[in-house]
Structure 1
């Protein structure tokens, strides 16, 4: 019995110990759970506070960005308004350049010095090319407002690069295009700079020097081109005069030979006549008169050739057209001292034009240069090229030519209708090709 009580007591104690251990472990777990929950709540609260602060900062930044965007859009609108004015202002610059005449170009000797002076002044002015620039709104950090001054310096360098690039590529015939491009670049650059800082603008002296730099380069190249053309025309005149002299000397020798032959024939005939009867002399006299007439013509031909060889002003004024190359009612009025003026006309219709010239009039004159100058003056208002007066093309009808020749009391044979055979045959072939192509297309369909 005692043993049973002892076992029961031990069992009860064991159960109580287990229960106590269980309760102690549970209390520790609850405490740990409570600590974890408390830490989690603290962390959540801290994260929420930090998130709220970050949200407020982000919202403030968004508002600043929106304000900056509105400011940039307003400046962009102003810039576009400025750029819309580019064409009129650039055309005005181009027109100012085109007012220079060829005589002005040829008379000026200071282009090289002017170029050096303007380039040197440009480099000095370019350092402060953009005025009224101050950094602002740096807290926004949009478009790197902190570097506005640096960008202004870059704009000045850009303008220098653009004007030098245009100067290197401009030709005597593309000056107005280059002037328009430079004016557009100046206006657009100023508009872009104003998009960053509304107070910024390109220095007026810088603008003036940029346009002057390009203008000097255009005029310089025009002067060089004019000098080249003058040299080319001088060489052409020298070649023409050489040909005229060679032709004249050749014609003079032939005429002298013909005159000598006729004179010798007359001398022989006169000797023979002296030995003939009176009746036979009548027959010989007719031959003698014919030979003397031929001798007079040969002498006249020799004198004319000698006159040409001595570089007189005798020659021909020609009126020619080329419908296929220049269109209707476009006539070239020129002069040649060649014995055969058609040689010169054929030269003009060489590989430089697609079709040969048609001759409307060949007017022989003792002073061909003066007659040519007179006709050029009469039709001066009808010139095709008003700048280069060495281009002898006029928008005038053949009726007007005939009328003016009549006023000058010049009786010239006028050919009214140009043949233009090659041109019209080319048109005919072209129409035939189109018709054949159309027929082929119809067959394929």
Structure 2
């Protein structure tokens, strides 16, 4: 049982005092000048026993929160003759009606109703005919039952609303946690694409310096500058993603804004960066209106091309990479990256990778509602092709 609150102690104390005061009042009435007109008219010994039972029932009210049904069963004999315990019996009945299952409460109410004629026969009301007293007693019990059922319904409604509010709050917290996790996953996927691209460029420039130690000083300085810039950008990207993934709950509001995401208009710069690193890239751009491509579709196309160029630099160094784009509103946007399958062993150590680049591309295309194909085709080339939806309006 839950520990009593200050309000519970106050209510229980008031009910105890009320029941005890009624027991003393009923016994005092029997000692008046007209005992035959008292509330508990009857033999003096019965009134004394009734007083003791009334005090005992009043004291037992402190147990009604823990054992209401057991207390109701123990005090059942008192409903046949006791006047001093009337208030305590009403409180016990009320408690069972409010807090216990309806079948148990209905059975206890039926016992009270059926015992009313017996009680009035033992303790007749001197101011009212017998059947009128029975009807009045039944009416009082009915009012008590109605009041208890009203309190029961109100309590259940409050509990239901509280549970619904708690459930809604828990669901809201779950949605926030899921949204945060999805956002972190998205950022991690973006950073994977960016870092893989930058580090592969850095590796190519470093490899050129390694295999051409006799290059002119201007070329060496230029390559070193590109390596420095690529390393700086890679570290900056890495710092951002680590900061996001380490952010604690609620830190999203104070996080710094993300840098602008690439679109289809940034593809020429991506291709130029790869060409500057020595990658031979051929581009066929047949997009009807590149400016009209939605930002999300253009970003996905950019990442697909970026991953294709990165894979070509890793696995087919020196090969000619073909990039083709075509599409129009309503028909969708088609992206294809193709390069010859590498022959023999690469001349330099392979660039390490996580092996999840194509997995991330597939997830990105799937989320966009598109299709992805990759692998070796009938001509022996490696082909990475994707179709992305481009709404007509």
- Normalized against structure 1, the TM-score is what? 0.30
Larger radius of gyration: 1
Indicate the structure whose relative CO is greater, using CA pairs within 8 Å and at least 6 residues apart. Answer: 1
Name the structure with the higher helix share: 1
- Normalized against structure 2, the TM-score is what? 0.33
